Each structure stands twice: as C-alpha cells, then as structure tokens.
Structure 1
C-alpha cells in the first residue's frame, strides 16, 4: 500500500470518529440552514477549507520531519513516532478515568467554534470557517500528522495530509447535508476503537524504524549511511 493510499484510508475510516466528535458542533452551527444549491456549495467550500488546513499542518510538521531525514535520524524518528503513538493509545484507553482530559479538549474547541460561527454566515465565509475547523483538537488528525512527519519531504507530508483530508470528505460532507440525522448516532462508542488504531499505527512505525527490509511493513530506511528512497 502506498503512503498516500494509507493516508486516504486512514481518513476514510477515521472520518467516523471525526463525525461523531465534531457532529454536535456542526449541528449547533448549521441547524438553522435550509438545504439549497448555494448552501451545498458553501458546505463544499467548508470541507475544502478544512482539507487545506490539514495540508498546511502537514507541510509545517513535514519541514521538521525532513530535517530529521536529512540528518540521518529518520530511522530513530520513526521508532520515536511509534512509541509516541503507542503511549497516546494507552492513554486513550484510560481517558474515561481522567475526565479532565475531556474537559480540556472541550475548552480547547470553544475559541475555534466561536470564530467558525462568525465566519460561517458571512458571504463566502464558509471556506474560512472550514480552515478553522481543521485546527480543532482531534485524535485522528494527530495520528495523521505523526504519520506525515515520516514522509521523505515536506511536500509529501503536505500531500499525505491532503489525502487524509480527502478520505474524510465523503462522510463529513454527507453528514453536513443530513442536519436532520438522529442525534442517537452520537451515542455510538467509536471512540473506544481509537486507542487500538493508535496502537496499530505505533507498532507499524516501530517496525518501519527497525529497518527489517520487509516491503511496506519495514522497508530499508538507511543503507551505508545514506537515506534510502524506498
């Protein structure tokens, strides 16, 4: 599986989590909107604004990741990323025991939600509101950013996050159109699966950093002191 395909499917499957986490916020911001062609276009602009933000975040963190690769630290950095993802996954397993984490995340969303509400109803403001949405705290985005940092260049990190965003697009856009969807969907505990996704990705990055010469799973990152292009 190519890196970009991995990004797309990470976004596609992760969009269930993103929808459930951001769903109540979208309801609050868009509950009075009546569907029309103009509203549909604005919703598309909103989604592409969000994807652009993902790409820019990937570009910024990709610059950091590329510096590690240039210094020959890519192998160690991949292992470090894997350990970090595993630690995050383990922490998520106990998140219900630490409600202060949830409270902190909710408070962190409030400034962005307030600004999104201001822009959403301004003429042509949906794109800006979507860009602000891209900064909302989200475990799946954190996982994607950690993955993007391990790309071979900052451009590929940007590309990875764009593909991740495109993966989230179908469900997120559909959800934004179905403002009458039953609120019982928010009771689905998809978040309980998120820690295991962190653990799986963490193990994958650790294997990738171990340089075992296994195609896709653990390709060679460093040969005779030089960075491999695999």
Structure 2
C-alpha cells in the first residue's frame, strides 16, 4: 500500500500556503486596517502583527485538530486501499489554484458576516488584543482555499496530523501576508499583481505535477518507488 502520508503532510500544506498567499494578501491584507496602530505610541506594529499571526496559527491548529480527530474515525472505517487515492485531492487543489478555479469554491456567506461582526466589535480594543481576537476569528473568513485545506485535514489521520497540516498551511501564507500588512510591499515590491498571480499559478502547476509524479504508483505505474527525491 502506498503511504499517503509521504505527500499528505505539513510540508505539502506549507507549499500550498505559499502558493495561495497571493490570494491571502488580496483578501486578508486590507483587514490589517482594523487593528493597525494609528499612532506610534499606540503599539509596536511588529507586536500587533505578531499577536495577529500567532492567534491565527492557534485557531488554524484548533480547527485542524478537530478535523483530524473526526476524520480519523472515518478513515478507520473505510477500506485501506481507498487511502491510496486520497493524496490526489492535493493534486486537484493545486490544479484548481493553477487554473484559478478556486475562485468558484463555495463560501458560506454567513461566516463572512460573523467575521465582520467580530472585527467591528473588537477593533476598538487595544491594538495587540484586537489583533489577537481578529486572528482567532480568521477561520470564519469566506475563503475557498482555506476551507478546502480544513477539509483535507479531515483525512490527515489523527488530531496531531490535522493540526500540523493546518499550521503548515498557515505558516506558508505568513511571509507575504506579513509584508503586505506591514506596508513594506508598498515601498519595496516591484512586481505587479498580474506577475504575482502568474508566479502563483506557475508554482501551483509545478506542485501538482510533482505530487502527481509521486502518486503514479497508485495508478499502477511502476518505478515511482525508486525515485529518491522527496521534495514534499
């Protein structure tokens, strides 16, 4: 049996986060206005962003843990051979990003309304506290790729693996989003949004091809077990 954990892990989730971070900047970057310090004496911008991202990672870990715990029960009840095809969902995810089909993923509108209510209610608190609360509420964002990652965490195999998978995705989205929120990109970034999207789509396509190559033994194609590189 193919060990699907060799590609279905936190490293793959990290790559998924890096690839979808352009989408995250477009959606989450403007949200920094809700807790960004307006004066130098309000709070350190780096402290505020640290509180936001740590709280966000914690909430991702919590959702991933719950998803992994629930999904582990489902996995134990199915045929083991069925798990061979599970990682192909990752290939589908990367292909959807590459061809921008992730825009059409269903998004629970009511969760977005709840997120806006939380943001409006707590944005008046001290900036680090407001940032932490908004970070904790980030799983409520109407984000198709985020919900797909949480759905994939269902099949991670255990609560711990689910948390690792969700945290890996969160860490992947962090660098570019941090730069956008700290306004560093307004001055330094010389790459146009169109170019960023093209880079994102290209990386997603490469990731899909690499994972598909690793999974070819699940389709009866011999020789994949002799491939010694393990990029994921």
Task: Name the TM-score class by shorter chain.
Answer: 0.5 to 0.7
The structure-2 alpha-carbon separation of the partners of 1:106 and 1:68, relative to structure 1 and needing over 3 Å to count, comes to closer
After superposition, the CA RMSD in angstroms is 4.4
What SS does structure 2 have at the residue aligned with 1:210? helix
1:114 and 2:120 are equivalent in the alignment = no
1:146-197 CA-to-partner distances (Å, cap 9, x unmatched) read 3322323111111121122122222222211118838xx9964867866x94
User: Where does residue 230 of structure 2 map in the other structure?
Assistant: none
Whole-angstrom distance in 2 between the partners of 1:215 and 1:35 = 57
Where do 5+ consecutive residues of structure 1 fail to align? 218-230
* TM-score for the superposition, normalised by structure 1: 0.67
1:21 and 2:27 are equivalent in the alignment = yes
Whole-angstrom distance in 1 between the partners of 2:216 and 2:70 = 19
Q: Is the 8 A contact 1:11 1:167 kept in 2?
A: yes
1:143 and 2:143 are equivalent in the alignment = no
1:89-111 CA-to-partner distances (Å, cap 9, x unmatched) read 39x85688x8xx89x66675233
User: Where does residue 156 of structure 1 map in the other structure?
Assistant: 161
The structure-2 alpha-carbon separation of the partners of 1:77 and 1:137, relative to structure 1 and needing over 3 Å to count, comes to farther
Whole-angstrom distance in 2 between the partners of 1:113 and 1:121 = 13
The structure-2 alpha-carbon separation of the partners of 1:175 and 1:64, relative to structure 1 and needing over 3 Å to count, comes to same
Whole-angstrom distance in 2 between the partners of 1:84 and 1:216 = 22
User: Where does residue 61 of structure 2 map in the other structure?
Assistant: 55
Where do 5+ consecutive residues of structure 2 fail to align? 1-5, 228-232
Whole-angstrom distance in 1 between the partners of 2:213 and 2:165 = 15
* TM-score for the superposition, normalised by structure 2: 0.66
**Counterpart pick for 1:6 among 8, 12, 25:** 12
1:82 positional shift: 3.9
Whole-angstrom distance in 2 between the partners of 1:216 and 1:126 = 48
**Number of corresponding residues:** 212
1:6-46 CA-to-partner distances (Å, cap 9, x unmatched) read 2222212221211112233434x256734565342122111
